[in-house]
Amino acid sequence: MQISDATDTETTMATPEKTPNQLKERTDIRNVAIIAHVDHGKTTLVDGLLKQSRIFRENQQVGELIMDSNDQERERGITILAKNTAVNYHDTKINIIDTPGHADFGGEVERVLNMADGCILLVDAAEGPMPQTRFVLQRALELNLKPIVVINKIDRKDARIDQVVEWTQDLFLELAKSDEQLDFPVLFAIGREGVAMRNPDDERVSLEPLFETILNTIPAPKVDMDSPFQMLVTALDYDDYKGKYAIGRITRGRITPNSSVARITRDGDISRQKVNLVFTNRGLQRIEIDEAQAGDIIAVTGISDANIGETLADPEQPEALPTIAISEPTLKMTFGVNTSPFAGREGKYPTSRQLRARLYRELEVNVSLRVEDGNSPDEFVVSGRGELHLSVLIESMRREGYEFQVSRPEVITRQDEHGHTFEPFEHLVIDTKDEYIGALTEVLATRKAQLSNMASDGYGNVRIEYKVPTRGLIGFRNSFLTLTKGNGAMSSMLIGFEPWLGKMGTTRMGVLMASELGTAVIYGLNNAQQRGDTFIEPGTHVYEGMIIGLNTRPMDMVVNVCKEKQKTNIRSSTSDISVRLTPPILMSLEQSLDFINNDELVEVTPKNIRLRKRYLTQNERSRARED
Instruction: Compute φ and ψ for 453, nearest 5 degrees.
Output: -165, 150
Strand partners, 313: 230, 262
Pair type for strands 230-239 and 195-197:
unpaired
Measured between alpha carbons, how far is 80 from 246 in angstroms, rounded to an integer?
Answer: 19
Measured CA to CA, the distance from residue 23 to residue 294 in angstroms comes to 10
Residue 52 backbone dihedrals phi, psi, to 5 degrees: -80, -10
The answer to whether the annotation marks 487 as part of a ligand binding site is: no
- Residues 6 or more apart whose CB falls under 8 angstroms from that of 117 comprise 2, 3, 30, 31, 32, 145, 146, 218, 219, 220, 221
Strand partners, 518: 542
Q: Which amino acid is at 106?
A: G
Q: Find out whether 42 is annotated in a ligand binding site.
A: yes
User: Amino acid identity, residue 90?
Assistant: H
| 3 state DSSP class of 133 | helix
Burial class (CB in 10 A: 0-12, 13-18, 19+), 243: middle
- The C-alpha atoms of residue 133 and residue 325 are separated, in whole angstroms, by 19
216 is in an annotated binding site: no
For the residues of 534-548, what is the DSSP string, one character each? E---TT-EE-TTEEE
Half-sphere exposure of 126 (CA within 13 A, CB side): 16
Query: Which residues, at least 6 apart from 500, have a Cβ–Cβ distance to it below 8 Å?
Result: 413, 420, 421, 422, 423
C-alpha 337/C-alpha 57 separation (Å) is 49
Separation of alpha carbons 107 and 100, rounded Å: 9
Helix, strand, coil percentages (3-state) for the chain, rounded to 5, are 25, 30, 45
Judge residue 571's burial from the number of C-beta atoms within 10 Å of its C-beta, 0-12 exposed, 13-18 middle, 19 or more buried: exposed
Neighbours of 554 (CB within 10 A): 9
**Other beta carbons within 10 Å of 435:** 12
155 marked ligand binding residue: yes
Task: Determine if residue 154 is labeled as part of a ligand binding site.
Answer: yes
**39 marked as binding residue:** yes
**DSSP codes of every residue in 440-496:** HHHHHHHTT-EEEEEEE-SSSEEEEEEEEEHHHHTTHHHHHHHHTTT-EEEEEEEEE
Q: Does 427 count as an annotated binding residue?
A: no
Q: Dihedral angle at the C-alpha atoms of 370, 372, 375, 379, nearest 10 degrees?
A: 80
Strand 311-313, strand 230-239: pairing: antiparallel
DSSP 8-state code for residue 3: B
Chain center to CA of 250: 26
Strand partners, 534: 549
d(CA 162, CA 200): 10
Q: Are 39 and 78 contacting, i.e. CB atoms less than 8 angstroms apart?
A: yes
Provide the annotated binding site.
Answer: 39-44, 152-155
Name the binding residues for GTP. 39-44, 152-155
